[in-house]
Structure 1
């Protein structure tokens, strides 16, 4: 009952930050690795395998408004707390990728580079990454012109060019300097409703996307 925990989207300019908590069973999916080292197709396949084989798993997020209010580190830790809260039971111990530990009702071990060392953290990195990518692809239709389906909110040259051309939308993190520089004199696009598909959209703040029931 050790849960691996990791986040996705911390370095983005737009969109929520996601986190996942995974308690692996005795069978570890073949080919599991740090999500950054896997192709999108491989991540998608492993996402389904992890969800089917893990003893327990949960995905949660912190909203753009929370990122701007608290800062990205605290919002990331909040998403991790929500992911653990979505598990069916509190794990005996939590292993977290990186040097920062969320406050949990169980012992927490931080592991720098854990997403390249521990299978449970690798699994969490895959679930968080795939869930977030799916949401940014969905939201691309509501915010055309920014290319969210391609760059997923990261600060690519194409994204920065679109930000200068169109100004920030409701998905952009206003506390991040590239977005803050474009705020003055811009009109904000209204936020779209959340989707109903649990496999491709995320919950409102404070809830987890899904987990084994």
Structure 2
């Protein structure tokens, strides 16, 4: 399988866009922690080699690319909190994080490539949803790498404050050890109360 390329961006540039941003989020599935989004505008003349969907890259490769992307691209990272996830629902919260990431770019983009099949309602203007975009578009791939590294670091920090849940390795996802820790250690302030495994522990008879 070939990796992502710059064809989506080139098509937008050919239509008159001057700054194309890729947008992706990470952290919809975990039971704990924020959802994190990134928006990245790559320099067409200085694209880091070796980018791909963050899920298929090794941790070492992601870390190396993270530093390079931050050095050569316009990057914005944003989050939606556990409270916002519980108040809004995870889909709307992930879209909110995406909207915040786009708003945080140094210069506003004039075309957006959004990973997935839905465009967040707060993102108006020239916007394009790309299913499996992190494996197709280099800008979305860059955003997926940045968002994952940033969120993994947040969860590692939280794991030091709340040991026993394995967040330093499971990043808050519902691994067997994480679910067992929920039963044995209880619910932390960083758990998503609207998610069924957490809700069931809080409100079990």
Interval containing the TM-score (normalised by the shorter chain): 0.7 to 0.9
Secondary structure of the equivalent of 2:134?
helix
Asked whether the equivalents of residues 7 and 125 of structure 1 are also in contact (C-alpha less than 8 Å), the reply is: yes
Structure ranking higher in helix proportion: 2
Question: Equivalent residues in 2 for 1:8-157 (5 A)?
Answer: 8-26=26-44, 27-54=46-73, 56-102=74-120, 103-157=122-176
Asked whether the equivalents of residues 14 and 173 of structure 1 are also in contact (C-alpha less than 8 Å), the reply is: yes
CA shift for structure 1 position 180: 0.3
List per-residue Cα deviations over 1:95-125 (Å, max 9, x = no partner): 0000111222431100111010000000000
* Matches of 1:15 and 1:174, distance apart in 2: 11
- Residue of structure 2 in register with 1:195 after alignment: none
List per-residue Cα deviations over 1:155-199 (Å, max 9, x = no partner): 1111111111112111110000001011148xxxxxxxxxxxxxx
Aligned residue among 155, 169, 178 for 2:197: 178
Asked whether the equivalents of residues 95 and 110 of structure 1 are also in contact (C-alpha less than 8 Å), the reply is: yes
* Matches of 1:106 and 1:162, distance apart in 2: 45
* Matches of 1:113 and 1:184, distance apart in 2: 37
Secondary structure of the equivalent of 2:168?
helix
RMSD of equivalent CA atoms: 1.0
Aligned residue among 157, 160, 175 for 2:179: 160
CA shift for structure 1 position 89: 1.9
* Matches of 2:91 and 2:63, distance apart in 1: 27
CA shift for structure 1 position 2: 0.4
Secondary structure of the equivalent of 1:57?
strand
CA shift for structure 1 position 90: 1.5
Any unmatched runs of 5+ in structure 2? 1-18
Any unmatched runs of 5+ in structure 1? 186-213
CA shift for structure 1 position 85: 0.7
Asked whether the equivalents of residues 90 and 105 of structure 1 are also in contact (C-alpha less than 8 Å), the reply is: no
Q: Which has the larger radius of gyration?
A: 2
- Give the TM-score of the pair, scaled to structure 2: 0.88
